[in-house]
Amino acid sequence: MRKSFDGLSGIVQNEIRRDPLSTAVFIFWNRRRNQVKLLHWEGDGFALYHKRLEKGTFELPKVDEGQPVLSIEADQLLLLLKGISLRHIRKRKRYQHAGKFVHNPSV
């Protein structure tokens, strides 16, 4: 948990092989699972969120052994940060459009 903006963006680029300047939020947990850091590029600079729990631990989503990277939805991240167990959450069916969203900044 000693790394900051440059160290974490280096891990994203060199170890995870992702672009730290993308729209993704990169999540880093410590071994004891009582601290988390979120790294996000906001277009003009990096934002870093660091949370340390005084009691308890964060529940981590299940990860396959050989998989170094896991993608989660924004609502799942918020639940994890609030201490809500994902194992007991059931999502109700919702409509999802099959098309892809394309952002056109020139409009």
Per-residue pLDDT of 36-57, as tens digits, reads 999 999 999 999 999 999 999 9
Sheet containing strand 25-29, strands side by side: 25-29, 35-41, 46-52
d(CA 4, CA 8): 6
Looking at residues 90-105, what average pLDDT do you find?
Answer: 68
Model pLDDT, residue 9: 95
Quickly state the pLDDT bin for 62 (edges 50, 70, 90).
confident
Model pLDDT, residue 70: 80
Residue 61 pLDDT > 50: yes
Model pLDDT, residue 100: 55
Share of the chain above pLDDT 70, in %: 91
Residue 106 pLDDT > 50: no
Looking at residues 56-73, what average pLDDT do you find?
Answer: 81
Q: How far apart are the first and last CA of the chain?
A: 41
Calculate the average pLDDT of the chain: 86
